Chain A
Amino acid sequence: MTAVITGIGVTAPTGLGTDSYWEATKAGRSGITPIDRFDASGYPAQLAGQVPGFTAAEHLPSRLVPQTDRMTQLALTAGAWALEDAAYEPDAFGEYGVSVVTAASGGGVEFGHRELENLWRKGKKFVSAYQSFAWFYAVNTGQLSIRHGGRGPCGTLVTEQAGGLDAVGQARRHVRRGTPLVVTGGVDGALSPWGWVAQLSTGLVSGTGYRPFGAEADGYLPGEGGAILVLEDAESAAARGIPAYGEIAGYAATLDPRPGLDAPPGLRRAAELALADARVTPSEVDAVFADAAGVPELDRIEAQVLCGLFGPHGVPVTAPKSATGRLFGGGAALDLAAALLSLRDGVLPPTPGVERPDHPIDLVTGAARELPLRTVLVLARGHGGFNAAVVVRAHHGKGAHPWRS
């Protein structure tokens, strides 16, 4: 059974809505700015990818606004756009025919921060009735399910930055087991001082910029946003007459060995397993969207994996996430959206902020690169050793996207 993406909704530091995100991404425009959501002047790092110009009340029913964290508001907005893109009709899929599977990392951090402050500064009766679910990891899945009538198998996966791919892998399982439509992907964000300080504790946040694979790489930058995707059974999508962006052809996940153990990291294994799952060889891969940690040691590990699989400079590699920052549960989902848009348009967006890679890889820098694309590999790694890989492939069957046929 083939599972295809029929809807994309994006809320990103580089654009609200898929079209504005994609234009900025192809042009290599950065969404990294000094933090203006709170006073970051006392912190050693002050740059982040913030979604500009987003007012929840303009996008969501008023009843939902007080009970949701900003990342849930962004997720619900992206979710509505993704379903609109897929021409979703709520009652067309049977009673339990719609599922929701999203990725999360820290939950509704800003909401939770406010309630912790209410408790500890003012007292327990100041804690919101919404706190019990507004911050927890499953909140976006639950709210999307309620808003769009997803009564099939729903869930949330957490593997930090790898989560967007794991969610899509799980969504594909649901499609294969008979759920015709799954709302998936991830939107995330933790831009409150409490979320920021948690990030800083990793010691990996850059004070200067996010330049993955660059000689000056000295860490990553956090951001907010992500993408909600609609995954469908290809036959059901074709029957509805809905074009597909591409097929989720392969997926795999691995965990790194315990630190200190003399064993290789798991990223290469994840990539190989995903390629095998898609029944493609490395030579058939036209491009790679890299995890691109921006941390020199992690960049080196990923570059080695790419060289090992494809040979030095063996495949075009890109990391448009240098323009958004790393988006936790949202990052890999947004990369997947970018990969699908690349397939559609035959163009690979660049990696803004990096002039020349410090590794023997063919990193797309400067301008976007036009090239025919059929098969794209997306890699992601989550804090603590999580690796995930997805292979997306142009869908040429019935219901192929009109741009490509």
Chain B
Amino acid sequence: MAQLNLEDLVAIMRDCAGEDEHVNLDGDILDTLFYDLGYDSLALLQTTGRIEQEFDIVLDEDGITEAETPRALLALVNDCLAQAA
């Protein structure tokens, strides 16, 4: 079963929205707010849009809004993948 891990997510975020020069995305960021990682709502829409394309899933819209950290977003995506499987 397909799973999204942090490394994949960071790669997608870098590609979709670049990275803030003052942030180390390779550090311990699972519980850091996307806002503090330099990502705004637009960056997250682009990122989640890409995830939906790549995994051919549809994420819950309210869930996306509420997923404020990588851990929360990974959980949202992986739950969705588990249900789709």
Residues of A in contact with B (beta carbons under 8 Å apart): 61-67, 125-126, 128-130
Contacts of A129 in B (CB 8 A): 42, 45-46, 49
Contact A63 B19 (CB under 8 A): yes
What are the interface flags for B14-30 relative to A under an 8 Å C-beta threshold, 1 for contact and 0 otherwise?
11111111000000000
- Min CB distance A124 to B, Å, is 11
Instruction: Select from chain B the residue with minimum beta-carbon distance to A127.
Output: B49
User: Known interface pairs A126-B53, A128-B46, A130-B46. Does A63 touch B38 (Cβ–Cβ under 8 Å)?
Assistant: yes
Most buried by A among B18, B20, B53: B18
Contact B49 A66 (CB under 8 A): no
User: Known interface pairs A129-B42, A130-B42. Does A63 touch B17 (Cβ–Cβ under 8 Å)?
Assistant: yes
Most buried by B among A61, A63, A64, A125: A63
**Can you sample 20 A-B contacts with CB below 8 Å?**
A61-B18, A62-B14, A62-B21, A63-B17, A63-B18, A63-B19, A63-B20, A63-B38, A64-B18, A66-B15, A66-B16, A66-B18, A66-B46, A67-B17, A67-B42, A125-B52, A128-B46, A129-B42, A129-B45, A129-B49
Contacts of A128 in B (CB 8 A): 46, 49
Q: In the complex the two chains form, what is the Cα distance from A126 to B16 in whole Å?
A: 12
- Min CB distance B52 to A, Å, is 6
Decide if the interface of chain B is mainly helix, strand, loop or mixed: helix
Q: In the complex the two chains form, what is the Cα distance from A125 to B15 in whole Å?
A: 17
Contacts of B43 in A (CB 8 A): 63
Contacts of B53 in A (CB 8 A): 125-126
Contacts of B17 in A (CB 8 A): 63, 66-67
Contacts of B20 in A (CB 8 A): 61-63
Contacts of B49 in A (CB 8 A): 125, 128-129
Contacts of B46 in A (CB 8 A): 66-67, 128-130
- Min CB distance A70 to B, Å, is 15
Q: In the complex the two chains form, what is the Cα distance from A126 to B50 in whole Å?
A: 8
- Min CB distance A195 to B, Å, is 23
Nearest 4 pairs of A and B residues by beta carbon: A62-B18, A129-B46, A129-B45, A63-B18
User: Known interface pairs A125-B52, A126-B53. Does A62 touch B42 (Cβ–Cβ under 8 Å)?
Assistant: no
Q: In the complex the two chains form, what is the Cα distance from A130 to B43 in whole Å?
A: 9
Residues of B in contact with A (beta carbons under 8 Å apart): 14-21, 38, 42-43, 45-46, 49, 52-53
A-B contact sample (20 more), CB < 8 A, given A61-B20, A63-B43, A126-B53:
A62-B14, A62-B18, A62-B21, A63-B17, A63-B18, A63-B19, A63-B20, A63-B38, A66-B15, A66-B16, A66-B17, A66-B46, A67-B42, A125-B49, A128-B46, A128-B49, A129-B42, A129-B46, A129-B49, A130-B42
- Min CB distance B14 to A, Å, is 8
Contacts of A125 in B (CB 8 A): 49, 52-53
Q: In the complex the two chains form, what is the Cα distance from A67 to B73 in whole Å?
A: 22
Q: In the complex the two chains form, what is the Cα distance from A125 to B57 in whole Å?
A: 11
Instruction: Select from chain A the residue with minimum beta-carbon distance to B48.
Output: A129
Q: In the complex the two chains form, what is the Cα distance from A129 to B41 in whole Å?
A: 10
Q: In the complex the two chains form, what is the Cα distance from A65 to B14 in whole Å?
A: 10
Q: In the complex the two chains form, what is the Cα distance from A63 to B44 in whole Å?
A: 12
- Min CB distance A240 to B, Å, is 29
- Min CB distance A115 to B, Å, is 12
Instruction: Select from chain B the residue with minimum beta-carbon distance to A132.
Output: B42
Instruction: Select from chain B the residue with minimum beta-carbon distance to A128.
Output: B46
- Min CB distance B40 to A, Å, is 9
Q: In the complex the two chains form, what is the Cα distance from A129 to B50 in whole Å?
A: 10
Contact A62 B45 (CB under 8 A): no
Instruction: Select from chain B the residue with minimum beta-carbon distance to A57.
Output: B18
Contacts of A126 in B (CB 8 A): 53
Q: In the complex the two chains form, what is the Cα distance from A130 to B18 in whole Å?
A: 13
Contacts of B21 in A (CB 8 A): 61-62
- Min CB distance A143 to B, Å, is 13
Instruction: Select from chain B the residue with minimum beta-carbon distance to A130.
Output: B46
Instruction: Select from chain B the residue with minimum beta-carbon distance to A118.
Output: B53
Contact for A65 among B18, B38, B42, B52, CB less than 8 A: B18
Q: In the complex the two chains form, what is the Cα distance from A125 to B38 in whole Å?
A: 24
Contacts of A62 in B (CB 8 A): 14, 18-21
Most buried by B among A66, A126, A129: A129
Q: In the complex the two chains form, what is the Cα distance from A130 to B15 in whole Å?
A: 13
Q: In the complex the two chains form, what is the Cα distance from A129 to B20 in whole Å?
A: 19
Contacts of A65 in B (CB 8 A): 18
Contacts of A64 in B (CB 8 A): 18
- Min CB distance B84 to A, Å, is 15
